[in-house]
Chain A
């Protein structure tokens, strides 16, 4: 069965420190994976996507994610957090083009 698991429901960091949001997936197919961000009272916005090209994917606002097939992971990272990064982040699996499976989300809090 295809699934996405976001390992942390809430992550707290200090401004200027690294961010790590973890996502594991299960898929019988070669997956396409995405990270979306949702700021308070806003819709979701695509941060980055992996579609079987380079395993290290760079996105907007300094975020990047690395696809690791051996670990079935697609963790999202950023070297230095900014206050404006506080939001909900969703890992999404594209199930062979037939459905999008959303994780439950990780809330990122950034303190000054």
Chain B
């Protein structure tokens, strides 16, 4: 496989469920990201991991919990979500350098989440 792979592609869950989104990158990159994409809104950065350490957490509610066990895998654990959390969740990776973001992200195809 090549690129960035996200599973599942579609997920429907109730507000009391616990589920996880998975992302795997095959590009040898050192940084991974979770973005939330809602209709008619700009992409929202949720979390950034660089060299497996979380370097950014943009005031995301605690019902979203990221995990990065190694540089190739990223998870987003979901618990007691709200209907307004329904969105497309995009994973991305990049090869970052000293001095910050290069801006060159490689995205997966996303996980479409519906919360009932």
Give residues in A with beta carbon < 8 Å to B: 32, 34, 36, 41-46, 49, 90, 92, 94, 96-105
Contacts and interface: CB of A to CB of B under 8 A. Distances in A.
Contact of A98 (B100, B104, B107): B100
Interface of B: 4, 6, 40-43, 45, 90, 92, 99-110
Given A43-B90, A102-B42, A49 B104 contact: yes
A102 B109 CA distance: 18
Nearest to B43: A102
Contact of A43 (B4, B41, B42): B4
Contacts of B105: 36, 44, 46, 100
A100 B103 contact: yes
Given A43-B4, A104-B40, A104-B41, A97 B101 contact: yes
Contacts, number: 52
A99 B90 contact: no
A99 B101 contact: yes
A44 B15 CA distance: 29
A90 to B, nearest CB: 7
Given A100-B45, A102-B42, A43 B100 contact: no
Contacts of A102: 42-43
B45 to A, nearest CB: 7
Contact of B103 (A41, A94, A104): A94
A90 B90 CA distance: 15
A36 B105 CA distance: 9
Contacts of A97: 99-102
